[in-house]
Chain A
Amino acid sequence: MICLLSYNVSSAAIVCRGKARTIYSAGIKIPFLSQVTVKTIHRCASHCLQGGVMGKKDQEREDFAGVSRRGFMQFVGISAGMIGTSLFSKQAFAVAANPGMSTDMPTDSAIHIALNINESNYNMLVEPRWSLLYVLREIIGMTGSKMGCDRGECGACTVLMDGVPRYSCMTLAVEAQGVEITTVEGLMEGEELGEVQQAFVDNDAFQCGYCTSGQIIAVEGLLRKTADPSDDEIRKGCSGNLCRCGAYQNIFAAAEQAAKAKKG
């Protein structure tokens, strides 16, 4: 089953609940999709990240299973990043996330991976050397996780993997399969901020804001492990995240507030 959602102007995501078969893509005919119901599309849409724009298109289409090639092309034409498929042809294949663009990806080195990010599934073709951070930011378009150094020294890229803070720049996309990945976007509760995020706002725990998502994830990870951390534990929990603006004191205060908020 496949569900297509676009949540910002420049990229589209295919959220996949199960194993997708094949889809059409920019002029290349690929064996047909199996059953997809409109209901599933709507369920996927509501699970997806904020700003889902594509929902409307889904609603317009009555019968996905009997989708016309033209109707389907309208979706795929703007995506092409996330395709879960077995390729039957050796020819160059559009996989770039950015609409209107093609990246020639040789079939012998591209790898199909499935990532679980913020409780949604993403299927895509990646080069083995691509980091999870690169895929998050440049392929999927989830830019909440930031790139500060791309070499595991600053923590701006921190995400949770099965609840544990990890540097996504030091994780290959191919390695990130089979775990639950949580980014800062995933801490939102609908349009409302999660407890840690709210605590950061209340305590002015940032200045330029660029290290902030990493700090928030680090604190979230800390609190999931240690519900009532001491001052030392808070510092240690944040010690993998650099803040050049020096907002540490307020970050520690935010962690304290969030710990209390989580206990409820």
Chain B
Amino acid sequence: MARNLTFSIFRYNPQDPASTPHTDTFVLDETNHMTLFIALNRLREEQDPGLQFDFCCRAGICGACAMVVNGRPGLACHTKTKDLPDKITLMPLPFFTLVGDLSVDTGTWFRNMAKRVESWIHTEKEFNAEALEERMSNDVAEQIYELERCIECGCCVAACGSAILRPDFLGAAGLNRIARFLLDPRDQRTRREYFDVVGNDQGIFGCMGLLACEDVCPKHLPLQDQLGMLRWKMGWAGLMNLLPWKRK
């Protein structure tokens, strides 16, 4: 214990004409149970009140605090300093628009993603306030929940080489979202409709199987399995589309 931690932090405030991208170094004494949430707030309060970063729930469930910690995208709030070496390098998530220092704009990207994958239940049914809810098996509900646990932190997208190369790529988070609706019996979209959304190079066929998404996802979503399933299903849908009588 009682280490002194050296933080190298990326600094740049695009709104300040005098600012240029550079790295600042801070030294901070480590305390028991210290997380990057505690450390960064102390840095802001004690050393540099202008330091920009995002936290919200500080409990690993909202996804606000994703940043690159010693080369790995992850959630700062649940990263304990005792698991890190003395020297800690913090960078903002790549891929997303920089707001300043460690803060990036994930909101815009994820909302666009929701629009692109039409992230809602597509159904003709009108809600009837008088009727009982439609039944669903608990197993299916749990399977959906498994995929619904994504917290839109953006780690998977920021870690993905495919996304770095083609900014219009939906990313594992977007593809996982589609997988979630594919599972959902309430969504009446046809295979063909799903195919039109993700059966292309912006979608599942843009994924090169790098699996960084799988390895960095802080919620441990089964991304590899979902991507595999999607490629398989959309692959077949693509072949079926070649057969005029199978199109639907």
**Is B one of A's binding partners?**
no
List B residues at the A interface (Cβ < 8 Å). Answer: none
